[in-house]
Amino acid sequence: MRRGFDLICTICCLVTVSFVSGCGKIGPFSIDDESAPLSDGATYQSTVEVLEEGLAESYLGDLEEGEVLVGGESDAFVCQGTVPDLKPDWDTILSENPDTVAYLVIPEAGITVPVMQKSGDQTYYDTHNAKGNIQEGGALHLDIGNNADYTDPNTIIYGCNESGGPLEYLGIYGNPEYFEANPFIYLYIPGYVLEFRVFAATSGGDTNILTNTNCYDYDVFSRYIDQIYASRSMDLQKADYLKEAVVNGWRMLTISAGSTTDSANRYFVYSTYSGSQIQ
């Protein structure tokens, strides 16, 4: 299976959004009704069509082994949700901290924060904020094993979900009403916004996903998705009807939240690439 597309990146900026609190984790829930309307007019049919569309054959024929496409209107999926109206000043952001590799926005969850990546140091941003200053709760950070273009089969972003941490409100996905009505996550990079659609959320303990699971192997990736859907966690939320499309998409974003990167008590939100928009 060939995956092409996308951008060469780096980012971030500070924007204020409304915070949503008071979210308790509720029991197991799955979306089984394929005709049920989802947020922003997206439907089962529109989502699956986007995730299974793939790249045009005319593009694939021009690629050599290992090459990927640089982003453009013609090779992008149309975003399914409502893209937040943000326009970060990349020049200023990168001049302040060149470790910035993305800007994560989860509408209505109170999460609009930069994503960092410290070369060779997986835990630096457990204790340092986006400006590089020591601060409890640290900053969101990309796994050092991931490429900063977000085209890997599984991209991992870590962050603290304790009080005051950048992912303090991520647990809102444990609420089935929120999970169903707000499935979109956005990553801002220079010139583009990438959209990911949430297909599962649950607590767990995997702290070395890239080391333990070679998602570049399609069969391994497929089994990994099976394991997520088969989780017996009491707080598991999942969109069953998206499973096949997630496997076919072979490009996901995992947000892994805990007190530190190495903490075994974690909360995961799993999403699959569903669109992009030129900014």
Query: Rounded CA gap, 187 and 117, in Å?
Result: 14
Determine whether 190 is exposed, middle or buried from the number of CB atoms within 10 Å of its CB (0-12, 13-18, 19+).
middle
The answer as to whether 72 is a domain residue is no
CATH number at residue 259: 2.40.260.10
Average pLDDT of every residue of the chain = 80
Phi and psi at residue 245, to the nearest 5°: -65, -35
| 265 Cβ contact list (under 8 Å, min separation 6) | 203, 205, 258, 259
Give the pLDDT band of residue 166 (cuts 50, 70, 90).
very high
- Lookup: tokens for 52: 């299974």
Does residue 187 register a pLDDT over 50? yes
Share of the chain above pLDDT 90, in %: 65
Contacts within 8 Å (CB) and 24+ apart, 158-162: 158/125, 158/126, 158/256, 158/257, 158/258, 158/261, 159/113, 159/255, 159/256, 159/257, 160/126, 160/257, 160/258, 160/259, 160/260, 161/257, 161/258, 161/259, 161/267, 162/137, 162/259
The answer as to whether 244 is a domain residue is yes
The answer as to whether 4 is a domain residue is no
The answer as to whether 67 is a domain residue is no
The answer as to whether 21 is a domain residue is no
Query: Rounded CA gap, 268 and 205, in Å?
Result: 9
The answer as to whether 7 is a domain residue is no
pLDDT for position 109: 84
Give the pLDDT band of residue 227 (cuts 50, 70, 90).
very high
Give the mean pLDDT of 100-104.
96
DSSP state of 45: H
The answer as to whether 23 is a domain residue is no
Q: Which comes out higher in pLDDT, residue 72 or 232?
A: 232
Query: Rounded CA gap, 194 and 77, in Å?
Result: 10
Q: Which residue segment(s) compose the domain that 153 sits in?
A: 29-54+77-278
Q: Which comes out higher in pLDDT, residue 129 or 27?
A: 129
How many domains are there within the chain? 1
Give the lowest-confidence range in 57-61, 125-129, 193-197.
57-61
pLDDT for position 52: 52
The answer as to whether 176 is a domain residue is yes
| Cα separation of the two ends of the chain | 29
